[in-house]
Amino acid sequence: MEPERSTAAAAPRAALPASTPLPATSDPAFERFVRLVRRQLDVPVALVSLVDAEEQVFPGALGLPEPWQTTRRTPLSHSFCQHVVLAGEPLVITDARDEDLVRDNLAVRDLAVVAYAGMPLVDADGLVVGSLCAIDSRPRDWSADDLAVLTDLAAACSSELQLRAVRDRADRSAAVAAEQWRRTQELLEERNDVAETLQRAMLTRLPEGDRLAIAARYLPAHARDAVGGDWYDAFVTPDGATVVAVGDISGHDIEAAADMGQLRTLLRGYAVDRDEPPSQTVRRLDRAMAALAVDTLATVVLGRIEPGPAGTHLLRWTNAGHPPPLLLLPDGRVEVLGGRAELLVGARPETVRSDAEVALPAGSTLLLYTDGLIEQRAAGRDIDAGTDRVVAALAGQAQLPLAGLLDRVLAQVVEPRDDDVVVLAVRAGPD
């Protein structure tokens, strides 16, 4: 279907964006789009034009006369593209000299714009910010094929523009988070109760709901230490999923707690507003740690729990080098959710991660924990033996309240503790 040829009068200039999303410089990605337009439509001029309230700029441009090809900008007195932005729809003109909308536009005289076909470019917020346009210095009846090709290229060009915006926002968010954490560290260094403050920040307020009951415990490695590198987290996302996480950074001192807080904050920020598999969230954490030069390693289990069929819930999780979750079923049996334990977070930013899934029947209890629960070197207990003891403690206890269940599990810890211990239990109720 051929786009509508707009002849409406221009809206007030105040409707134009306050600024352009890209500067008036040549951009290789957008230069490729104008090369494709010129080749496919056989026109002398092709532009990626972005408009604000003062001017238009060209991150992609071929065939403009000088000085505009070099300066990459014109005032709005030379802009057809502004009408695409103001109307939010294509502008297709056979002969500008016969169109009331543009016949007095100085681009006709100075840039030899006679025939014009411009398709809207849409940013990450869904706003029209410019156009991908083909220009001829002679009258031209644009064919349906011409306009279809231009429409497809404009859609691809919009995708590139949106990707740039999303990437820039993510970079800014990561930079703000890093700066906020730096300022927090400076503040904490001035306080005498650093350990107590970090402890309060680490202990998440757990969500409450009818469908899932959640409880957690944290034990520092030594009585004189108030913080460490282990953490837990649980929260409900805007789309109703429950995200749970348990992680462990080596060490149980203030430095480990600082690293823990940064990773936990980044992971929480990435997981809260995207309906994506946990593996993708942890991959973004890998890349953020590399970009922000967070020089530490951590094991993490990140899970996402959503309502499933027939009163069940569905757990999807990814495991970055962490002890496997345990599932206490309603009949008292305990399953070790092995899945695939992959590289630790922070080992390689390009690590490919995967997800595992399991149904959580009503009355079942998921247990996430750190290795301080099952590996106690001072007592000569290895991970396998420790896991067996925790499984035995859980078996047959499906009816025990969560608080009592955590007490029973933590009774397996031998004193004095030589590592932090975190346990997080989630009991599935009816949907």
From the list 212, 168, 129, 174, the residue with the least C-alpha distance to 425 is 212
What CA–CA distance (Å, rounded) separates 275 from 268? 13
What CA–CA distance (Å, rounded) separates 164 from 408? 51
What H or E segment, with its residue span, contains residue 106?
helix 106-110
pLDDT, residue 293, reads: 83
Instruction: Give the Cβ contact number of residue 403 at 10 Å.
Output: 11
pLDDT, residue 228, reads: 64
What CA–CA distance (Å, rounded) separates 429 from 213? 8
- H helices then E strands: how many in the chain? 10, 16
Positions in the chain short of pLDDT 50: 1-14, 192, 223, 225
Secondary structure letter of residue 239 according to DSSP: T
For the stretch 27-36, pLDDT in tens is 999 999 999 9
What is the strand order of the sheet 421-428 is part of?
Answer: 212-219, 421-428, 365-369, 326-328, 334-336
What CA–CA distance (Å, rounded) separates 5 from 117? 9
What is the strand order of the sheet 298-307 is part of?
Answer: 230-236, 242-249, 298-307, 313-320, 356-360
For the stretch 252-275, pLDDT in tens is 566 767 778 788 888 888 888 888
pLDDT, residue 300, reads: 94
Q: pTM value?
A: 0.55
pLDDT, residue 235, reads: 92
pLDDT, residue 265, reads: 86
pLDDT, residue 161, reads: 92
From the list 337, 334, 322, the residue with the least C-alpha distance to 391 is 334
Greatest CA separation for the chain: 91
The answer to whether the beta carbons of residues 249 and 294 sit under 8 Å apart is no
